[in-house]
Amino acid sequence: MKSKKNSDILKVGIAQIAPVWLNRDKTVAKIENYINQAADEGCQLVVFGEALVPGYPFWVERTNGARFNSPIQKEIHAHYLDQAVQIESDHLKPLCDAASKNQIAVYVGTIERPMDRGGHSLYCSLIYIDSKGIIQSVHRKLMPTYEERLVWSIGDGQGLQVHQLGAFTLGGLNCWENWMPLSRTALYALGEDLHIAVWPGSKRSTFDITKFIAKESRSYVISVSGLMRKGDISKDLPHAEEIINNSQDFLANGGSCLAGPDGEWVIEPVVEEERLLIAEIDHRQVRAERQNFDPAGHYARPDVTRLIVNHERQTILSTVNEGDQ
What are the φ and ψ backbone dihedral angles of 302, each rounded to 5 degrees? -65, -15
If one looks up domain 9-318 in CATH, what number appears?
3.60.110.10
Give the strand pairing for 105-112 and 45-48.
Answer: parallel
Nearest 5°: phi and psi at 288?
-65, -45
Mean pLDDT of the chain: 96
The sign of the torsion formed by the CA atoms of 244, 248, 251, 254 equals positive
Q: What is the pLDDT of residue 277?
A: 98
175 part of the active site: yes
**2 pLDDT higher than 70:** no
Distance from C-alpha of 104 to C-alpha of 319, rounded to nearest angstrom: 38
Q: Which of 141, 203, 211, 215 does the annotation list as catalytic?
A: 141
Mean per-residue pLDDT, 21-48: 98
Q: What is the pLDDT of residue 309?
A: 96
Whole-number Å distance between alpha carbons of 139 and 43: 23
* Cβ–Cβ < 8 Å for 216, 239: no
Partners of 265 in the beta sheet? 259
> Do 95 and 32 form a contact (C-beta atoms < 8 A)?
yes
Separation CA 198–CA 49 (nearest Å): 5
- Residue ranges of the domains in the chain? 9-318
Type of residue numbered 222: I
Q: What is the mean pLDDT of residues 78-83?
A: 98
Residue 141 annotated as catalytic:
yes
CB 85 within 8 A of CB 92: yes
Distance CA 43, CA 280 (A): 9
CB distance 162 to 192 below 8 Å? yes
The predicted model scores a pTM of 0.95
Sign for the pseudo-dihedral over CA of 261, 262, 267, 269: positive
The alpha carbon torsion through 135, 140, 146, 151 (nearest 10 deg) reads 80
Q: Is 119 left (phi over 0), alpha (psi -120 to 50) or beta?
A: left
pLDDT at position 98 = 98
Q: Which of 30, 43, 50, 257 is catalytic?
A: 50
Question: What is the β-pairing status of strands 9-16 and 275-282?
Answer: antiparallel
61-77 average pLDDT score: 96
> Could you give the percent of the chain with pLDDT greater than 90?
95
The confidence band for 318, taking pLDDT boundaries of 50, 70 and 90, is confident
Yes or no: say if 145 and 50 are a contact pair by the CB < 8 Å rule: no
Tens of pLDDT along 281-311?
999 999 999 999 999 999 999 999 999 999 9
pLDDT in tens, 113-145: 999 999 999 999 999 999 999 999 999 999 999
Active-site choice (175, 177, 203, 257): 175
Mean pLDDT for 8-17 is 98
Q: What confidence tier does 6 reach under pLDDT thresholds 50, 70, 90?
A: low
* pLDDT single digits (tens) 137-167: 999 999 999 999 999 999 999 999 999 999 9
Write down the pLDDT at residue 92.
Answer: 98
